[in-house]
Amino acid sequence: MLDDRDRRILDMLQKDAGISVTDLAERVALSISACSRRIQRLEESGHIARRIVVLDREKMGVPTTVFALVKTAHHSDEWTETFRRIISDIPEIVEAHRLTGNHDYILKIVLPRVEHYDVIYKQIVRKIELFDVSASISMELLKGGTAIPVGYAD
């Protein structure tokens, strides 16, 4: 069961996983050892899945975002697993979601420039049959990040 301090710790860690335990403890009004124990408990309980570094996409040379909407005529477990394996091997595909509605999947693809999308597209369609793929280029990021709301956790 999480309390308000746990939620504040989680909120601060997801904004800056590199924050020192000393600074974190001070901000949530705990001793360093108590704060450290709480972080360890949150890791052991799975509330903290992992700690990562978020890279600057401009500096890494992949400033362009393309969203590809995929339709398929195949819905078997075998096809889905093959598709999952194919897209997992393409590092430019940073997110993939199975959808309800008119499309089956959406892929978030980060690229050095929009023309590179064709390279990724060909990597996929050479390996698996798709019914339709339509792509949209992100013109501007209005909201981004990795933080999720912490108020719903038990």
Instruction: Specify the number of domains making up the chain.
Output: 2
Q: Looking at the predicted structure, is the pLDDT value of residue 154 above 90?
A: no
Question: Residue 38: which pLDDT band, with cuts at 50, 70 and 90?
Answer: very high
CA nearest to 19, candidates 4, 36, 5, 31 = 36
pLDDT-derived band at 91 (thresholds 50, 70, 90) equals very high
Using the predicted structure, report yes or no on whether residue 62 has a pLDDT greater than 90.
yes
Residue 91 shares a structural domain with residue 119 = yes
* CATH, residue 14: 1.10.10.10
pLDDT of the residue at 104 = 98
144 assigned to some structural domain: no
pLDDT digits (tens, 9 = 90+) for 14-32: 999 999 999 999 999 999 9
Residue 70 sits in the same domain as residue 118: yes
Q: Is residue 80 part of a domain?
A: yes
Q: Domain range spanning residue 81? A: 64-137
Residues 40 and 71 in one domain: no
Residues 85 and 40 in one domain: no
86 φ, ψ (degrees, to nearest 5)? -60, -50
All residues at 6 or more sequence positions from 49 whose CB lies less than 8 Å from its CB, including other chains: none
